[in-house]
Structure 1
Amino acid sequence: MRVDDDITVLFSDDNWGNIKYLPKEDLNRKGGYGMYYHLDYVGAPVSYRWLNVTQIERIWEQMKLTYDHGVKNLWIVNVGDLKPMEFPISFFLDYAWNPQAIQAADLPKYYTNWASAQFGPAHAGEIAELLARYTKYNARRTPEMLTADTYSVENYREADRVVGEYNSLAEKARQVYNQLGGTYKAAFYELVLSPIEMSANLNEMYVSAGKNKYYGEHGAVAANYYAERTRELFAKDAQLAKAYHELEGGKWNHMMTQTHIGYTYWDHPPLNMMPPVSYVQVPKKAAELGYLLEYGERPQWGWLDVEADWAFSTSLPLFDKINKQECYVDVLNRGEEQLTYTIKAKEDWVRLSKEQGTVQYNDKVYVTIDWSKVPQGSVTGTIVLAGAGQEYAITVPIRNNVPAASGFVENNGVVAIEAPHFTKKVDTKEAHWTVVPNLGRTTSSLILEPVTAKTQTPRANAPRVEYEFTVFTAGNVTVDAYLSPTQDFNKQGGLKYAIAIDNENPQVVNLNAGETKPDWEYPEWWTKSVGDHIKIKQSRHKVTTAGKHTLTIWALDPGVVFQKFVLNGEGKPKASYLGAPESVYHKPF
């Protein structure tokens, strides 16, 4: 289509905050260019419009691309209802007023300045942290897209960590609320405390539903506890909305009536629907002992004597003196009456958080190692769990001989590294690395600036970052790069980076490879990347020796946003939404 020179051409994001197209030429056309951006959206894969789920850091990164590529005449932002989008609206307009005045390093100060303007300077720093954290947590996955399976109950304590982060944030927000003067209380409740409490409650509800399923599948009475807990938290969601609507005599009545629980389609359900839960039939008999091990294999149905019983994993994962792991034994009650149990280690170097207990549902006992007492050589400890006439032996394997370690250290086949935590950074005259604080699902992110830089070449002239890491065994390694879901906005074959371990030839990875869009549907790659707020690109490598190695990343195209790298050795990686938490960093003396 030919457009007259005096007409403004308006581009847009993909409805999820990712710019789709930017002009490649004719930047001096009379009508100029504009951008239509979203903080709120009705459509596929699932609408998001209940609470703010947008990080200002992502607005900054995408709208910087927009501005620096010559899209300067008109910026429009879709906000749905003005509430609860006050904070990202403020940032969008302030940034639009003077994009050159706010650089990546200025973003943390924006939170503080905004909080000070709304609530005074006394608690501005604390409120800034609350705003930065809750928008980060909500941007991991929109509330409308949460399910009982989003966060892993089994691996990396992910579900518990997410709930703990939200609940800790809610407690800090309540402390600030109680310290504020009366003039600020209602505004703080509406802008900060209420969305944090609602989000914390919703995430715990879905995690409780996940635990209900997890314990039910393992024949544990704890399933019934989490079914009831899910019901309680579902009811609390309505109570929190009611409190919001009654604030200041109903000043903001109905603003939280947007349904947000129980989506089965892109549009909202007619009413909030609690996630499904199940109840187990508790045998009408005395207590029965069972257990699960952290990172143990899922038990399969088996036969002991003539009765059906569970076959349990009998070994904890490997412990080593660099990672100093802590793993748990989840003691389960599978009967009607309370269970009294004992748990003891045969070796004095195996430490237990407790040696006995009485439980109705389940109880976690944490296992650590006293490395000052571990004998030399290959050794294995034993834990004996007993109760209700049953006894189980659990082995505690030790990796006592580890190679000289430096950098991020393998933990049971996995090395996880946050992108900004590089060992070495190399910039060039043409382009340089920039850390964008708080951007992403876990810590911060790395981008290439200027965002209009030409495509670089690996090894020859590209900026690079290096990460030292240590593995305990040689073999094949896959590297999962966690990247923001940036679109191929310049339509020149995709955005690329290069990757290598040690001195191997760099592999060029295309962030947008295979991203084609049929005319009649939303493609699967897009619905997954915007739902997860991440793209994971995988490369395969080989390390020939145990010990220290170097992972090198070259930035080739601006627009690639690096969040995290996870290296997996041979074997099946543990499934989780956020990926393995960052590995221990070891610096030799």
Structure 2
Amino acid sequence: MNCKPLILFFLPAMLLLPAKKVCAQKIAVSNVYQPASFPLVHQQKAASIYIDSKDAAVVPVAAEAFKNDLTAITGAVSEVKKDAAGLDTFPVIIGTLGQSKWIDALVKSNKIKAEKVRGKWETFSISVVDAPFTGIKKALVIFGSDRRGTAFGVFELSRMVGVSPLCWWADIVPEHQNALYISPGESLEGPPSVKYRGIFLNDEDWGLQPWAARNMDKEVKDIGPKTYTKIFELLLRMKANFIWPAMHPCTKAFYFYPDDPKIADQYAIVVGSSHCEPMLRNNVFEWAENFQNEYGQKPGEWRYDLNQKQIDQYWSDRIQQSKNYESVYTVGMRGIHDGSMPGPKDKNEKVKLLDKVITNQRSIFAADFTKPVNQVPQIFCPYKEVLSLYQAGLKLPDDVTIVWADDNHGYVRQLSNPQEQKRSGGSGVYYHISYWGAPQDYLWLCSTSPSLISYELSKAYQYDAKNLWVINVGDIKPGEMETQFSMDLAWNVNRWKPENASQYAAFWAEETFGKAFAKPIAKIKSEYYRLSQTAKPEHMNAVIFTDAAVDQRLKEYQAIAKEAEELQKQIPQRLQDAYFELIFYPVKGACLMNEKVLYAQKSLELAANGDKTALDFSRKSEAAFQQIQIITKKYNEQIAGGKWNGIMSWHPRDQEVFKMPKIATEEMVEEGKKLKVPTNSKDKTITIQAASFTTKKDAPDAKITTIIGLGAGGNGETLLPVMINPVDQNQLKNAAYLEYQVDLPKGDHRIKIKCLPTFGVYEGRGVRYAISVNDETPQVINVAPASENAVWKQNVLQGYASGETLHHLKNSGKNSIKIYPLDPGTVINQLEIR
């Protein structure tokens, strides 16, 4: 037996506890016997698990999963007992306050303290209780304030003993233990930072839907109840509670399969619907395709000003179906799919129509619910063109939660201003780590870093987006780690602040693969995110790099790919599949995509000069293209015995970037010899990382803070706290600044400042910096683009926004450059001096 305590297994609970909830002594997990500990698994015997059959349906779901987790770790078989007359000497007791006879009896005898959780949202306690009942030595007691609180407590203990939340979804086999003991004490968690926390299954056409049809819901050949059962368990294991179901034309509506909402309720998952699906209706299927089957007649036009009666009935019918389940209703109206609301062309008239839509939707709630309308959870998502309608004067009821959207590329477009922060409905965020749309998709690999996720979502939280976070995760795979990070952050926003979010990869790698692999995996992931920031793998054909940058980029990608390959040889056999899915495939795939595109470009440049080595690069590009297909075939057909067959496409939507690019041929080289292209001399460019400042000055109310892993170059400099007021550009005397001492020749110089491509925190705010060379009058630049214009498109593809200023230097030698971040959300990444 390994006699070292299982420190690794203790970390998740220790680190995720909010500071205000820390108890004198928290429980810990060990495989070393101590007389005071609770024997969860002792001498190959697992403690029995006791629940009350009158408790919520999710309690036996969690209890059975926990029983199976114990078997997976130790081989010992526990038993879940409902309504047993008596208890074993060392029982595990699981229940919800007010719904479990065991829990209520312990409260009555003062063995557990109900006031610690009573009335709180999704709060739980895990404790070792001495002599809980007559003749019982010790009990391990898990109880929650509500049904999800209980389930979260159970799955938190699973995570503590060594079962990853991604155990099924990423084939993470836990390390075998002969015994498990829980030390005396109590771990108390909750309430969560964000009330509703979950995922949006989206753009599922090339992964989740074909995989589910082939492997899970074979009878209906779709994403159906069996698939959702696994998804809902994943959410519970991540302490998440919310879903926007898949809704593309390839997938039938969630409510089309009667078992879907029943299973959601069994797993205590709150069901909503996306920004373009009002009132839990999936219009792509239910209006455009299945309406006649449901109603016996064809639908009229999807225009509320012309077809109100039919649309109201359609919405009311769904409320009747859903009102006994926990749901969050999207109000408002857009096109049948992801397009603008049909109706009058005049914007003011459109605003009036949308006002009418929401007023009537609330009348439907009033008619169909017994509770007041303001107690029916409702959201309004000002996504894309809807934001302009909201800004044009839409009268939104105060209790409706505004769910602000990012720009689809990870940068939140707008947050609540001081007046909106007073609204009783509060706000939330709809955020993408996967996306189909302009200017270019990123559906293949997930490369949004924890640092960026934390920076944008923590900023949103500070501006009162605390009611709902929904993350567009595409097909779930291969964004497993990033999804788990988002849910960990939503549970405890103070645990993974922007200042330490870059450490999550090491924390997660230790939890997933073990301490020996934490640092090397974190290093690989850090480089992977840094390189992807300046062009995601899916955007490689849309970004132009200098020759030097191409060489450096290839060198750095090949370095981490090699590290991933070498590390793969050391990973234990039980974790080989998990390592391939979570680390090797995305890192190798990104490297190969860069090789394919950049080698092809090199081949054409060399051929234009008649250089025969162009053909070597042509071959390298082709080899990379073939290798992408080989590793994807392995993912689908070999990993986990073919379990994931159909989940991974190397060419979603058949975008141009996934095809074999044009490469040099012998004929092109011969032609190039005749038409030799002259090389133009280029200005010398000096690149300085923003974090490499010479000196720094903080302001009385704000501190310039380095955020590791944020933005181009790897690190960003930003003002914290993020709730500060903007700096008056005419009053810089006490403003915070970064100073750089740079050797430069006299004459004219252009200085480009690369910033994170964020938006002003709300309407009227910018993303400004001021720059002064040798204490000249500062020049002020605002890098926030108008929404979705050509500048924005280039910004999100290249991973930075930039401003450029001209400066005349009178003398050669050391010159002082001062940069003043002026707005909350401004992040300085790099200086380029020409």
TM-score (norm 2): 0.50
Partner of 2:736: 463
> What per-residue deviation string (whole Å, max 9, x for no partner) do you get for residues 223-274 of structure 1?
222222222221111111111111121122222215159735xxxx9xx521
Question: May I ask how many residue pairs the two structures share in their alignment?
Answer: 436
Alpha-carbon shift at residue 539 of structure 1 (Å): 0.9
Partner of 2:446: 52
Query: Is 2:389 the counterpart of 1:11?
Result: no
Query: Is 2:782 the counterpart of 1:516?
Result: no
Partner of 1:503: 775
What amino acid maps onto 1:541 in structure 2?
A: H
Out of 484, 493, 514, the position equivalent to 2:756 is 484
Out of 812, 819, 833, the position equivalent to 1:546 is 812
> What per-residue deviation string (whole Å, max 9, x for no partner) do you get for residues 425-484 of structure 1?
11122111010012122231101111110112353221111000011x311111100011
Give 3-state SS (helix, strand or coil) of 2:704's partner. strand
Alpha-carbon shift at residue 42 of structure 1 (Å): 1.0
Report which structure shows greater RCO (CA 8 Å, sep ≥6): 1
Partner of 1:133: 527
Q: 1:21 to 1:420 in 2, by over 3 A?
A: same
Alpha-carbon shift at residue 151 of structure 1 (Å): 2.8
Query: Is 2:599 the counterpart of 1:208?
Result: yes
In 2: Cα distance, 1:208 partner to 1:283 partner = 15
In 2: Cα distance, 1:17 partner to 1:122 partner = 32
Give 3-state SS (helix, strand or coil) of 2:500's partner. helix
Q: 1:26 to 1:194 in 2, by over 3 A?
A: closer
Query: Is 2:77 the counterpart of 1:77?
Result: no
Out of 8, 20, 26, the position equivalent to 2:413 is 20
In 2: Cα distance, 1:441 partner to 1:12 partner = 23
Out of 667, 684, 700, the position equivalent to 1:281 is 667
Out of 396, 421, 428, the position equivalent to 2:692 is 421
Q: Is the 8 A contact 1:221 1:282 kept in 2?
A: no
Q: Is the 8 A contact 2:450 2:502 kept in 1?
A: no
> What per-residue deviation string (whole Å, max 9, x for no partner) do you get for residues 503-561 of structure 1?
2111111122xx335xxxx4211211111111111011111011111000112111111
In 2: Cα distance, 1:221 partner to 1:477 partner = 38
- When structure 1 is superposed on structure 2, of 23-32 and 420-429 the one drifting more is 23-32
Alpha-carbon shift at residue 489 of structure 1 (Å): 3.0
Give 3-state SS (helix, strand or coil) of 2:771's partner. strand
Give 3-state SS (helix, strand or coil) of 1:17's partner. coil
Q: 1:454 to 1:231 in 2, by over 3 A?
A: same
Q: 1:311 to 1:225 in 2, by over 3 A?
A: closer
Out of 126, 133, 143, the position equivalent to 2:537 is 143
Q: 1:263 to 1:461 in 2, by over 3 A?
A: same
Partner of 2:119: none
Give 3-state SS (helix, strand or coil) of 2:527's partner. helix
Out of 437, 443, 453, the position equivalent to 2:724 is 453
Q: Is the 8 A contact 1:148 1:206 kept in 2?
A: no
Q: 1:201 to 1:565 in 2, by over 3 A?
A: same
**Unmatched segments (≥5 aa) in structure 2:** 1-393
In 1: Cα distance, 2:764 partner to 2:469 partner = 24
In 2: Cα distance, 1:179 partner to 1:282 partner = 45
- Aligned counterparts, 1:305-344, within 5 A: 310=676
Alpha-carbon shift at residue 311 of structure 1 (Å): 8.1
Out of 573, 581, 589, the position equivalent to 1:190 is 581
In 2: Cα distance, 1:49 partner to 1:536 partner = 26
Alpha-carbon shift at residue 53 of structure 1 (Å): 1.8
> What per-residue deviation string (whole Å, max 9, x for no partner) do you get for residues 326-365 of structure 1?
xxxxxxxxxxxxxxxxxxxxxxxxxxxxxxxxxxxxxxxx
In 1: Cα distance, 2:542 partner to 2:603 partner = 9
Q: Is the 8 A contact 1:261 1:273 kept in 2?
A: no
User: Over aligned residues, Cα RMSD in angstroms?
Assistant: 2.3
Partner of 1:562: 828
Give 3-state SS (helix, strand or coil) of 1:16's partner. coil
Partner of 1:234: 625
Q: Is the 8 A contact 1:148 1:210 kept in 2?
A: no
Q: Is the 8 A contact 1:147 1:275 kept in 2?
A: no
Partner of 1:474: 746
Query: Is 2:388 the counterpart of 1:117?
Result: no
In 1: Cα distance, 2:686 partner to 2:397 partner = 55
What amino acid maps onto 1:461 in structure 2?
A: N
Q: 1:316 to 1:2 in 2, by over 3 A?
A: closer
Partner of 2:66: none
Q: 1:416 to 1:136 in 2, by over 3 A?
A: closer
Partner of 1:399: none
Partner of 2:493: 99
Alpha-carbon shift at residue 26 of structure 1 (Å): 3.6
Q: 1:190 to 1:484 in 2, by over 3 A?
A: same
Q: Is the 8 A contact 1:170 1:197 kept in 2?
A: yes
Alpha-carbon shift at residue 161 of structure 1 (Å): 1.2
Q: 1:117 to 1:226 in 2, by over 3 A?
A: same
Alpha-carbon shift at residue 137 of structure 1 (Å): 1.7
What amino acid maps onto 2:611 in structure 1?
A: A
Out of 502, 508, 525, the position equivalent to 2:791 is 525
Flag the structure with higher helix content: 2
Alpha-carbon shift at residue 175 of structure 1 (Å): 1.6
Partner of 2:263: none
Give 3-state SS (helix, strand or coil) of 1:113's partner. helix
Q: Is the 8 A contact 1:151 1:207 kept in 2?
A: no
Q: Is the 8 A contact 1:483 1:564 kept in 2?
A: yes
> What per-residue deviation string (whole Å, max 9, x for no partner) do you get for residues 354-378 of structure 1?
xxxxxxxxxxxxxxxxxxxxxxxxx
Q: Is the 8 A contact 1:496 1:557 kept in 2?
A: yes
In 1: Cα distance, 2:769 partner to 2:433 partner = 29
In 1: Cα distance, 2:520 partner to 2:509 partner = 9
In 1: Cα distance, 2:481 partner to 2:668 partner = 49
Alpha-carbon shift at residue 142 of structure 1 (Å): 2.0
TM-score (norm 1): 0.70
In 1: Cα distance, 2:532 partner to 2:668 partner = 37
What amino acid maps onto 1:131 in structure 2?
A: K
Percent sequence identity is: 28
Q: 1:21 to 1:544 in 2, by over 3 A?
A: same
Out of 200, 211, 219, the position equivalent to 2:610 is 219
Partner of 2:643: 251
Give 3-state SS (helix, strand or coil) of 1:147's partner. helix
In 1: Cα distance, 2:647 partner to 2:832 partner = 41
Give 3-state SS (helix, strand or coil) of 1:105's partner. coil
In 1: Cα distance, 2:691 partner to 2:720 partner = 15
What amino acid maps onto 2:748 in structure 1?
A: N
Q: Is the 8 A contact 1:57 1:436 kept in 2?
A: yes
Q: 1:208 to 1:39 in 2, by over 3 A?
A: same
What amino acid maps onto 2:644 in structure 1?
A: W
Partner of 2:106: none
**Unmatched segments (≥5 aa) in structure 1:** 285-299, 302-307, 318-411, 569-589
Q: Is the 8 A contact 2:786 2:792 kept in 1?
A: no
Q: Is the 8 A contact 2:543 2:797 kept in 1?
A: no
Give 3-state SS (helix, strand or coil) of 2:550's partner. helix
What amino acid maps onto 2:504 in structure 1?
A: Y
> What per-residue deviation string (whole Å, max 9, x for no partner) do you get for residues 82-135 of structure 1?
100011111111111111222333223311110011111111111111122212
